[in-house]
Structure 1
């Protein structure tokens, strides 16, 4: 089976590429910068040029492809707004997939997206879900909560570097999951017809609020955090301001998504059906405590090695 992976250089996409290659799949990566994606080629993937901002480049990337795994999304730094990249271009991709007789289309959405139709990012995901459901394609839609990897930059690094962590609230809990586990579920689904035309959640074994994650990081690192609260009204003002300018619409849409995180929702659900359907055991997925413990252990080990080397250099100078 030949896979076309979109978003292969991203946090989730690169894990999907690695897992697919390990499982013996032929992997093509849809990229617009061969330089930034060079590491994927080193792993064994084939790079094909494609740009979701340029619709004409999309159909040619599907030549010889059996399945599409779409792990792409617009970035806050993109000058184009998300409706161009996450909606219009995805519609063209889906139509092109139908014409190319793609056997499976995997798309990643957001858990609880249908509850927040007024939030642009959520609304876009739901529209693409609907487009796939109305198509003749064999699709699998995975709805995600959050990634372990995102917690490193958000909480772990600021604590280690004694920087301020900015919070807008602590009423929403999220069942974060390791992207390596998400990749494992994704690749497994390709070989199972039972996953056809299914919307399946992919979430961790337990949900966490921001403060609970921070407390865990403090415990494992042995360091205290510096927390500052950002009033929600300031977030709303920032969203309204950025919505005035076309170049900042993408930022405005993501600020709107941050408002969701402060509504006291629980981004978690049962995974029993998914474990059974994809024939994966509960204990095969990583616990957040173990993931962060391993991360901090590696960081502390490197710091000790660095201090030891600095001590050796200092003693040589004194001698």
Structure 2
């Protein structure tokens, strides 16, 4: 296939974005990563990406970063505050700037990391902001595909390995099934979406073979490790209002993916057992 030019990855210094960069490079793509001035781009450079210094709040820098680019993949998410400079404004003004510049640049495909059920949740700000970004892409006629993943399972290990401790902490219900994903799987889907056929203007739910409860995850991991993993529930009022609104939405039981289009475009979704096993082994655990 003729190389059409580099793929610009926005959010490449994050957990998900760095894996997207790796997947693209492994697939033979040229990658340009948008990195804020002052942020460490060393890992991305070691992988083989070229660096464009810029910021989603600076349209001029976005125009420069998109010069000669074939496609854009964005996994940027300001609401997480995982990196210095992250703010919710990134999810509103920043995303609109990115879409507007992609429209001006005539990008062949824009791949958006959206959120499952974002179009149903105006009361959850960071969900709704993704829906507004989807709307802006459609309004301007930018050729796009939006992947709508469920909750990242890796977040349960963000502050340490709960399986080593034998205590899996969760802020929601133990009995309401939800859709989860692994970031490593989503990274592969995002990279594949750059050249996937028949996906323009599609919103594709991303998940596993079925929704599961956090108690299910504790039980699956207990069986795989041969020891009891206790589920500990924490009150959601310990967190901010956006997080509380999200957990309340989870509690409705409607945070569930329809993976039929995912299956059609990317192949069969992983089983819950397969995904949990891969998380456990990534944390260094030996399975029975």
Identify if the C-alpha distance between structure 1 residues 160 and 187 changes in structure 2 by more than 3 Å, giving closer, same or farther.
same
Q: Which residue of 1 aligns with 2:277?
A: 293
2:169 corresponds to 1:165 = yes
2:12 corresponds to 1:12 = no
8 Å contact from structure 1 (residues 159, 223) kept in 2? no
8 Å contact from structure 2 (residues 55, 62) kept in 1? yes
8 Å contact from structure 2 (residues 217, 276) kept in 1? no
In the superposition, the TM-score normalised over structure 2's length comes to 0.85
Quick one: distance in 1 between partners of 2:281 and 2:190?
A: 29
Q: Which runs of 5+ in 2 are unaligned?
A: none
Q: Which residue of 1 aligns with 2:263?
A: 275
Quick one: distance in 1 between partners of 2:132 and 2:217?
A: 32
Structural RMSD (CA): 2.7
8 Å contact from structure 1 (residues 175, 207) kept in 2? yes
Task: Tell me how far 1:211 sits from its aligned partner.
Answer: 0.9
8 Å contact from structure 1 (residues 148, 288) kept in 2? no
Q: Deviations over 1:276-305 (max 9, x none)?
A: 3x3x432xx54332343345457245xxxx
The equivalent position to 2:129 in structure 1, one of 124, 145, 148, is 124
Select the structure that is richer in helix: 1
In the superposition, the TM-score normalised over structure 1's length comes to 0.78
Identify if the C-alpha distance between structure 1 residues 175 and 53 changes in structure 2 by more than 3 Å, giving closer, same or farther.
same
The within-5 A match list for 1:28-47 is 28-32=32-36, 36-47=40-51
Quick one: distance in 2 between partners of 1:143 and 1:127?
A: 13
Quick one: distance in 2 between partners of 1:52 and 1:89?
A: 5
Quick one: distance in 2 between partners of 1:179 and 1:79?
A: 22
Identify if the C-alpha distance between structure 1 residues 118 and 9 changes in structure 2 by more than 3 Å, giving closer, same or farther.
same
8 Å contact from structure 1 (residues 172, 209) kept in 2? yes
2:259 corresponds to 1:255 = no
Q: Which residue of 2 aligns with 1:305?
A: none
Task: Tell me how far 1:79 sits from its aligned partner.
Answer: 6.5
2:111 corresponds to 1:106 = yes
Identify if the C-alpha distance between structure 1 residues 211 and 184 changes in structure 2 by more than 3 Å, giving closer, same or farther.
same
Identify if the C-alpha distance between structure 1 residues 144 and 281 changes in structure 2 by more than 3 Å, giving closer, same or farther.
closer
8 Å contact from structure 2 (residues 175, 215) kept in 1? no
Task: Tell me how far 1:186 sits from its aligned partner.
Answer: 2.6
Q: Equivalent residue of 2:114, what SS?
A: strand
Q: Equivalent residue of 1:220, what SS?
A: helix
Quick one: distance in 2 between partners of 1:295 and 1:112?
A: 24
Q: Deviations over 1:53-106 (max 9, x none)?
A: 444432221112111101110123566641x10111111111111111111111
Q: Which runs of 5+ in 1 are unaligned?
A: 240-251, 302-319
Q: Equivalent residue of 1:63, what SS?
A: coil
Aligned residues: 280
Q: Equivalent residue of 2:52, what SS?
A: strand
Identify if the C-alpha distance between structure 1 residues 105 and 164 changes in structure 2 by more than 3 Å, giving closer, same or farther.
closer
Q: Deviations over 1:21-49 (max 9, x none)?
A: 11111100111266633112111111111
